[in-house]
């Protein structure tokens, strides 16, 4: 796969590109925000709407090529997945159809894993764009109708979208100057956005076209939940010793993360070997006792602590308070 051309959310079940034969990308389709409900954010109706939009844009190409500049792929470190150090030499050009087919196939999510391992192996913090990729519009307060191109179904009160003036029923026409065909197109803009950021928007409200500005604070990306992603399993290996952490029901219990699962094998069993057990509740981590989600915990560790170190964890097991050390990889 040409990573210099095909850049998308590698945790998806289905993804599509709308392209010109000269490799100019018109738009993207395919979104996901849940582990079990893989099709919650996509639909045949939405795909059809995106196809119609791409065909309409194609009619006016190349006169409108300048408007597509922001949709084009960004520079990459490695042009193909096989060039990543952690994947190099592990896969052959052809699948083993007579043996282990699945194991002989490089999966999309391994690209994102390899990108993160590249930073980790170099003892560098994993940047937010790599750690918290392709935020859903909900992160800025926009819920979009999966059956339409980019129609606003709901605006969260007090959110960045609400402050920008978005309203239910708005059709997002452009975002950061880019024509929008789908939820995936919105995610592409958000994925590339800085922190803080000011993103110009054009929406159609009834028969009127309005210009809005979406202002994002410096910490906006931290609301992006990555717990559902397949690539988060490797982050748990690096930063949590193979533990899966869920929010405890009692908000008064410090950090408030409960161990929901303990990895049992190989590098995912580091937490188990360190003494952690299912249902343990984290009270503090590295001296921090404020409430966290699993995403916040992983982000803190992967941007502040390097492999080979240990993080002190105060936890509650039944009614007993314990102090353990969590080894990092």
What residues contact residue 320 under an 8 Å CB cut-off, 6+ apart? Answer: none
- The rounded distance, in Å, linking the Cα atoms of 228 and 230 is 7
What structural domains and CATH numbers belong to the chain?
A: 16-130 (no CATH), 137-223 (2.30.42.10), 232-327 (2.30.42.10)
- Residue 78's H or E segment, with its range, is none
* Count of C-beta atoms within a 10 Å radius of residue 132: 21
The whole model's pTM is what?
0.94
Peptide bond connecting 83 to the previous residue in cis, omega within 30 degrees of 0:
no
3-state DSSP assignment of residue 216 = strand
Strand partners, 246: 258
Q: Which residue has the tokens 């410090």?
A: 254
Q: What's the rounded Cα separation, in Å, for the pair 132 and 225? A: 8
| Strand residue runs (E) in the chain | 16-19, 25-29, 142-144, 152-155, 171-175, 178-179, 197-205, 208-216, 243-247, 257-262, 281-285, 310-317, 320-327
Residues of the chain with pLDDT under 50: none
Secondary structure of residue 161 in the 3-state scheme: helix
């Amino acid at each position: 796969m040409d990573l210099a051309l095909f850049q998308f959310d590698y945790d998806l079940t289905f993804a599509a590109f709308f392209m010109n034969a000269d490799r100019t990308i018109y738009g993207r389709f395919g979104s996901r925000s849940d582990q079990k409900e893989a099709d919650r954010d996509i639909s045949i109706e939405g795909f059809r709407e995106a196809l119609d939009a791409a065909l309409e844009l194609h009619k006016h190409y190349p006169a409108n090529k300048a408007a597509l500049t922001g949709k084009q792929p960004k520079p990459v470190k490695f042009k193909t997945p096989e060039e990543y150090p952690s994947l190099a030499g592990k896969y052959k050009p052809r699948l083993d159809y007579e043996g282990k087919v699945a194991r002989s196939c490089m999966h999309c999510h391994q690209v994102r894993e390899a990108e993160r391992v590249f930073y980790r192996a170099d003892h560098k913090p994993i940047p937010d764009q790599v750690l918290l990729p392709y935020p859903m519009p909900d992160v800025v307060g926009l819920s979009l109708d999966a059956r339409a191109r980019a129609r606003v179904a709901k605006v969260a009160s007090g959110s960045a979208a609400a402050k920008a003036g978005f309203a239910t029923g708005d059709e997002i026409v452009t975002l950061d100057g880019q024509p929008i065909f789908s939820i995936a197109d919105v995610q592409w803009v958000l994925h590339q956005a800085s922190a803080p950021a000011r993103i110009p928007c054009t929406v159609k409200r009834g028969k009127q076209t309005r210009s809005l500005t979406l202002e994002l604070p410096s910490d906006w990306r931290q609301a992006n939940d990555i717990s559902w992603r397949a690539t988060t399993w490797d982050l748990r290996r690096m930063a949590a010793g193979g533990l899966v952490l869920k929010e405890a029901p009692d908000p008064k219990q410090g950090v408030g993360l409960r161990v929901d699962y303990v990895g049992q094998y190989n590098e995912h069993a580091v937490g188990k070997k360190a003494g952690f057990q299912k249902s343990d509740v984290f009270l503090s981590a590295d001296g921090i006792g404020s409430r966290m989600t699993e995403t916040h915990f992983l982000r803190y560790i992967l941007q502040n602590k390097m492999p080979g170190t240990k993080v002190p964890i105060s936890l509650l097991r039944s009614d007993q308070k314990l102090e353990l050390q969590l080894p990092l990889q």
